[in-house]
Amino acid sequence: MKFRRIEFILATAIFIFILIVLYSTGAPHESKRALASWMAYSTVIYGTVLVFIQWISPAFFIKRKVDTGIALTLLLFFAAWMGLAACLWIQGYHSYRGNDFQHYLTHGQALGVTALVFLLIFAYEGIKRLVRYVQAKNNGLASRIFQESLIVLGVGLLILLPLLSVDRDLSALWLVSIPYAYLLFALNTYWLTPFSEKRHDDLGKYLLMAIPVSFVAFIPFGALFLGVTKSDGLVFFIIWFAITLVILPLSHYIYQRQKERIAQLVNLKMELGQASANLSFLRSQINPHFLFNILNTLYGTALQEHAERTASGIQKLGDMMRFMLHENNQDRILLAREIEYLRNYIDLQLLRTATSKGIIVECDIADALESTYIAPMLLIPFVENAFKHGISLREKSWINVSLYESEGKVYFDVHNSIHRKPEADPERGHPGVGLENVKQRLAMLYPGKYDLVIRETTQEYFVHLTIVC
């Protein structure tokens, strides 16, 4: 859930709680007019806080539209000031009953409360910025505790203001409970629970350690509350027991969830590293295989002639080697670059087969859009396999290659004849690693986004590949 949505839900929940408290405590003692004015008072504060933190700050200050943000903040300030003055005017506040609206607008209470509201809003926004800054700089335990403390402080400041207008004892309870609750949470999450797990303590031993620690930590907060509210000692123990009863199980649950998430992240990191290593190994297997085939082709061409065909072949070889050195190690490349490599490979193979009339090679490779990307070296193994097993210089042979792109999908077909190797050929039992590698890469890089169909008869070999790019 986004943090802005959490802010909205939290602010709305606090607002509704305050309205309920105002109605339940004020209905028997105050007139309907006074009660309505107090509820309107709280509504103005709620609306002011919400407009600033949900709209003005993220839409203007964070996006560095400072001039517009300042102008809107001033307008909001005056709107809140007038709204609070109107609430006091409706109520006819104490000795000023009967005065006109202008008196309440210029009276110090409305202006002072408005200024206090904006001071707390600015403090809260500053704390949020500080949390983000610390989070970006350091992710250690001390930094994490500091961030959480700032968040607790910021939320506590926003909630404190409406509580001050409801009841002094309730606001004092809030001031005491929130710091103690976070202190107990931090102690239990980052020290008590890990220490107990390290020693393999059972629940009894854990409670023998956690309860005394929680009581000692509460003493200064409880003493402060008793001093402010003049309450008796029983209240001290009730507050300590209630907060401890909630925080200890909650912090233990959060600790276990964090521990599970960390374990999942570690496992995912290990799996990702293994997959990356496997992918690099597969690529390293493919590259030398192609280089040897091309060098053999150029060697055969050089024996036949020493003119343009050899020069053209060497140029294409240079283009292919640059491709493998600079682009083959990338995760994705333009489909147009893969097609260029594919065409160079086929042209080099045609140098070897051009003088053989019984060999037919047909290519229908369409140009690709510049915005389409694909993993490198996915298509060439199928063409390489077709030339390796589908071409014979003594028998009739054919290869058909088709490639086109439509609606974000790449359609690739290779259809070739098959010429079985003699029984004595040492390569007969070793079909090569190219096709197996490309199958593994497809499974890793395009899970659920590809369709590979391979059919083979005694005389023909057919491959159809569809990839969603």
Q: List, in sequence order, every residue forming a beta bridge with 415; answer none if it has no partner.
A: 400, 462
- For range 249-261, the mean pLDDT: 84
pLDDT at 25 over 70: no
Angle 107-125-118 from CA coordinates, rounded to 5°: 5
CATH says 305-468 is which class? alpha beta
- Residue 70 pLDDT > 80: yes
| Strand partners for 413 | 402, 464
452 pLDDT above the threshold of 60:
yes
Any idea which of 128-137, 184-193, 450-459 has the lowest mean pLDDT? 128-137
CA max distance for the chain = 116
Place of tokens 């001390």: 142
- State yes or no: pLDDT of 398 exceeds 80: yes
| pLDDT of 274 | 64
- The pTM for the full model equals 0.40
Residue 93, pLDDT score: 46
Q: Among all chains, which residue has been given the structure tokens 């259809």? A: 415
Are 245 and 219 in contact by the 8 Å Cβ rule? The answer is no
Q: Which residue has the tokens 């510049």?
A: 370
Across the range 217-237, mean pLDDT stands at 76
* pLDDT surpassing 50 at residue 138: yes
pLDDT at 150 over 60: yes
Q: Supply the pLDDT for residue 251.
A: 85
Angle at 270 between CA 269 and CA 275, to 5 degrees: 95
Q: How far apart are CA 90 and CA 79, in angstroms?
A: 16
Predicted local confidence at residue 13, as pLDDT: 79
pLDDT confidence band for 287 (50 / 70 / 90):
low
- Residue 427: φ, ψ to 5°: -85, -5
- pLDDT, mean of residues 453-469: 91
Buried b (16+ CB within 10 A) or exposed e, 387-410: bbbbbbeeeebbbbbebebeeeeb
Report the range out of 70-79, 90-99, 104-113, 164-173 with the highest average pLDDT.
70-79
Q: In whole angstroms, give the CA distance from residue 172 to residue 169.
A: 5
pLDDT of residue 289: 59
- What are the extents of the domains in the chain? 3-268, 305-468
Which one, of 112, 109, 84, 77, lies nearest residue 96 by Cα?
109
The mean per-residue pLDDT over the stretch 241-251 comes to 87
pLDDT for 195 equals 83
Q: Cα(274)–Cα(268) distance, rounded to whole angstroms?
A: 10
d(CA 15, CA 18): 5
Span 363-385, mean pLDDT? 87
Q: Summarize the confidence of residues 105-121 as an average pLDDT.
A: 74
Interacting residues of 294 by C-beta distance below 8 A, sequence separation 6+: 317, 320, 345, 348
pLDDT band at 402 (very low <50, low <70, confident <90, very high): very high
- CA dihedral 177→178→182→183, nearest 10 degrees, is -50
Is the model's pLDDT at 173 over the cut of 80?
A: no
